Chain A
Amino acid sequence: MRRLGAGFLLFWWDFIVGDDWRIAAGVLVVLGVGALLVAGGDASQSLVATIMAAGIMLVAIGSIVTAALRASRR
């Protein structure tokens, strides 16, 4: 039963997170910051949206650069 549960979790981890957990972690961190900004209520909606878009694109750049460095070392 435990093996079945582990297999189930592993399946969803592979399906959602894929082969680079940094993307999922980065997206969650950026959106977490966004959630705090919205909950604080001080920042305008446009500012939050702009910061979020920039943050998510930085996550993408970080992931691409990391993968490229790893690939070029091989």
Chain B
Amino acid sequence: MAHELGVIGATLLASGVEFVEALTIVLAMGTTRGWRSTWAGVGAALAALTVVTALAGYALERWLPEALLQLAVGTLLLIFGLQWLRKAILRSAGLKALHDEDATFRAEVEAARAAGEERRLGLDWFAFVVSFKGVFLEGLEIVFIVISFGLNGGSIALAVVGAALGGVLVLGAGLALHRPLARVPENTIKFAVGLLLSTFGTFWAVEGLGWFGPSEASLHWPGGDAALPVLLGLWALLAWAAVRLLAAPARTSETA
């Protein structure tokens, strides 16, 4: 049960954050350069993502033994998760500026207005390329997380459900408001996602080390799946302590 909830929770939160960032870029392009070329860019990116997902998912599932898959995916999740967690801790401690979706939107709008008019294939090429890149890059992170959690959690369907829920929530809110979702507590969500990615990444990467053993079978954690909540607790404790310790000097220097 911890596995299933973790898969849905992690993919929902992670995809939600990425959808927010993609939505900001798409809205900036659509409102300043026109929707036709913007939607063409979004559509092309979604098509490219579908191909990448199908190829990567097939290759990973067919060609890699279970333990090696756990090692590869766990290692990547761990590297991703630790990056997210580090940034979230620094932001919470006041050592790094919070991500400002409104500022990003303004910057994108300014860039869109300053860009020249270049037409290719009957499209506003700037709007097409920026929308394509924004959706493809953010989407690639979602795809990576869905494949990782889906394959290792034993259910691609659950991971897709989580990501789809995240997408529906963010896109629904974006369409209703027709503006970037600046009030989403992005750092809190990234904090949670960083904790989940680091937890599952640690769990699977270590299980995958069994591939180097004589039987090439996955390694077992003490307590089996019960190690997951313990790992999550340890990562949360580490993150909480880091924020407390780093925020204290920051507050002192602010009041000085």
Interface size for B (C-beta < 8 A) is 41
**Residue ranges of B at the interface with A (Cβ–Cβ < 8 Å):** 71, 75-76, 78-80, 82-83, 85-86, 89-90, 93, 95-96, 137, 140-141, 198, 202, 205-206, 209-210, 212-214, 219-222, 227, 231, 234-235, 238, 242, 246, 249-250, 253
- Count, A-B residue pairs, CB within 8 A: 103
Cα A16 to Cα B47 in complex, Å, equals 22
Evaluate contact between B206 and A49: CB separation under 8 angstroms.
yes
Evaluate contact between A15 and B212: CB separation under 8 angstroms.
no
Interface size class of A (residues with CB under 8 A): 35 or more
Proximity bits, A8-52, B CB within 8 Å = 1, else 0: 000000011111100110011001001110110100011011101
Nearest 8 pairs between A and B by C-beta? A71-B95, A46-B222, A35-B212, A18-B83, A38-B212, A39-B212, A52-B206, A34-B209
Known: A64-B89, A72-B249. 6 other contacts (CB 8 A): A24-B79, A48-B206, A48-B219, A64-B246, A67-B95, A71-B90
Evaluate contact between B86 and A64: CB separation under 8 angstroms.
yes
Closest to B141 in A: A15
Closest to A70 in B: B95
Q: CB < 8 Å: which of B85, B90, B234 contacts A53?
A: B234
Evaluate contact between B86 and A17: CB separation under 8 angstroms.
no
Evaluate contact between A20 and B209: CB separation under 8 angstroms.
no
For B76, list chain A residues within 8 Å (CB).
16
Evaluate contact between A38 and B75: CB separation under 8 angstroms.
no
Evaluate contact between A68 and B85: CB separation under 8 angstroms.
no
Cα A67 to Cα B95 in complex, Å, equals 9
For B227, list chain A residues within 8 Å (CB).
49
Tell me how far the C-beta of B125 lies from the nearest C-beta in chain A, rounded to whole angstroms.
18
Do A17 and B79 contact each other (CB < 8 Å), given the known contacts A31-B205, A49-B221, A68-B90? Answer: yes
